[in-house]
Amino acid sequence: KQEVTQIPAALSVPEGENLVLNCSFTDSAIYNLQWFRQDPGKGLTSLLLIQSSQREQTSGRLNASLDKSSGRSTLYIAASQPGDSATYLCAGGTGANSKLTFGKGITLSVRP
């Protein structure tokens, strides 16, 4: 059974800082790894999806990596902005049905 862990639960950084959010998973037979953003009271917005055969994906100021052997993924945010404040969740897919197992998320606060 896949288990996904995100530590720490919360993070506060000053504007402009580069930061890394960590995610670990227990089942290395992961099908894909997705990162999502969730604003308070809202649904989830997909940020990046990394297939099991890939090492990383980039979109704008975001870069996500996947290391299946160590069971880790990271989300790198460059030049953070107050608008990046949100909860970031990672989720592992373990089959072609795209069913995901989520971590609890990291609540990021970027201070102006």
Point out which residues bind another protein (CB under 8 A): 4, 31-32, 34, 36, 41-46, 49, 51-53, 89, 91, 96-105
Query: For residues 55 and 99, which CB has a smaller minimum distance to another protein in the complex?
Result: 99
Q: How far is the CB of 29 from another protein (least distance, A)?
A: 13
Cβ distance 39 to 18 under 8 Å? no
Query: For residues 57 and 80, which CB has a smaller minimum distance to another protein in the complex?
Result: 57
Q: How far is the CB of 59 from another protein (least distance, A)?
A: 11
Query: For residues 55 and 104, which CB has a smaller minimum distance to another protein in the complex?
Result: 104
Query: For residues 42 and 111, which CB has a smaller minimum distance to another protein in the complex?
Result: 42
Q: How far is the CB of 75 from another protein (least distance, A)?
A: 14
Q: How far is the CB of 14 from another protein (least distance, A)?
A: 25
Question: 């995901």: which residue's tokens?
Answer: 100
In a 13 Å sphere around the CA of 7, the CA atoms on its Cβ side amount to 4
Distance CA 87, CA 104 (A): 9
3-state secondary structure of 47: strand
Distance CA 57, CA 46 (A): 13
Instruction: Let me know if 85 is exposed, middle or buried by CB neighbors in 10 A (0-12, 13-18, 19+).
Output: middle
